[in-house]
Copies of this chain bind each other. A is one copy, B any other.
């Protein structure tokens, strides 16, 4: 239960890290959208570790296959099944740790919730690998949003305390893919990568913040009081493992602001109503106000670290210590960037359809 998301653009995720595959079903995509496996592949490839320093040992081939819902190069209106077969991987290390829950991971909670029946190999359903299913869905969502001019763009704004300077949207779009930190501020990016390397040498990991912006969002998306734009975006973003905070616009800094500072004054530019500031992050009363949607997510440091950690043996209920073997990302923030982008796209797509801004058949 709980593996589907959305009301009109519904995605369903399935698969496990070391099982046969990971996949996603998209139900509700309009018919007639041209789509190829390559379109999806391009997005999925963005999840790949970009440079050696952030690399995982596992070579993720991640070849996307379309199993249903696409015919003669276009969506049919039927559910689209996208799938990536897993390579055969060695799960023996996980067998050894089976009763030793790794701190920071879902090992313990999954074991308890599913009575020990959960597929623990590689974290199973709780692996970061599952986010490939989000990115596949996001690829289609982005194509749909593109039909009405909405652009979604995520980038790294902080890693381990190093913060990027604010940049204009154009600059972000141009620079985000030019470094493996996925940070539009090249200077900060350099420092971030150095920090990641240092932390890696220490056998440790480091967290950060990803920001995601949506441009050209029409006024009126969001269905308050419960299906607010903030609420549904937040729910979608918290599905990404490692996300521990979500904030919009000024976010937590509102706690230190006056109303006179934080309220965004309305004005007219080019015959269109805008706000002169965007502390609201493009959302007022849970509804998009036409300004860029701005959301930031806090990504915790990778739970898998080389350092020895304290845990408990679930079999004999004795204290134990644990060293997570294998090479792991010492910072997953850059790899989270396309995932954040995807979850935002998927959620916006659902709201765009609720607002009847996408046709049921694309022509």
Known: A252-B252, A263-B305. 20 other contacts (CB 8 A): A2-B223, A3-B78, A4-B12, A7-B7, A14-B79, A15-B67, A77-B114, A104-B263, A108-B219, A109-B222, A113-B220, A115-B363, A125-B225, A206-B257, A234-B246, A252-B298, A258-B301, A263-B303, A266-B312, A273-B317
Is A89's CB within 8 Å of the partner chain B?
no
Q: How far is the CA of A281 from the CA of B271 in the complex (A)?
A: 47
Q: A81-B15, A109-B220, A114-B76 are in contact. Are A256 and B161 (CB under 8 A)?
A: yes
User: Which residues of A184-226 are within 8 A (CB) of B?
Assistant: 199, 202, 204-209, 219-220, 222-226
Is A231 close to B, CB under 8 A?
Answer: yes
| Interface residue A69 (Cβ < 8 Å from any Cβ of B) | yes
Does A50 reach chain B (CB closer than 8 Å)? no
Judging by beta carbons under 8 Å apart, are B268 and A312 in contact?
Answer: yes
Set of chain B residues within 8 Å of A161, measured between Cβ atoms: 255-256
**Chain B residue nearest to A161 in the complex (CB):** B256
Q: B228 near A285 (CB under 8 angstroms)?
A: no
Quick one: which of B204, B239, B262 contacts A300, CB cutoff 8 A? B262
Which residue of B is nearest A271, CB measured? B317
**Contact residues, A57-111 vs B (CB, 8 A):** 67-69, 71-72, 74-81, 83, 101, 103-106, 108-110
Determine how close the nearest CB of chain B comes to the CB of A71; give it in whole angstroms.
Answer: 4
For window 296-342 of A, CB contacts with B under 8 Å fall at 298-305, 307, 309-312, 314, 317-319
Say how many copies of this protein the assembly contains.
Answer: 4
User: Whole-angstrom distance between the alpha carbons of A336 and B260 in the complex?
Assistant: 20
Interface size on A, residues (CB 8 A): 151
The stretch among A25-33, A41-49, A147-155 that forms the contact with chain B is A25-33
Please give me the residue from chain B that is nearest to A232 by CB atom: B235
CB–CB B245/A252 < 8 A? yes
The chain B residue with its CB closest to the CB of A158 is B255
Bound complex: CA A333 to CA B305 (Å): 39
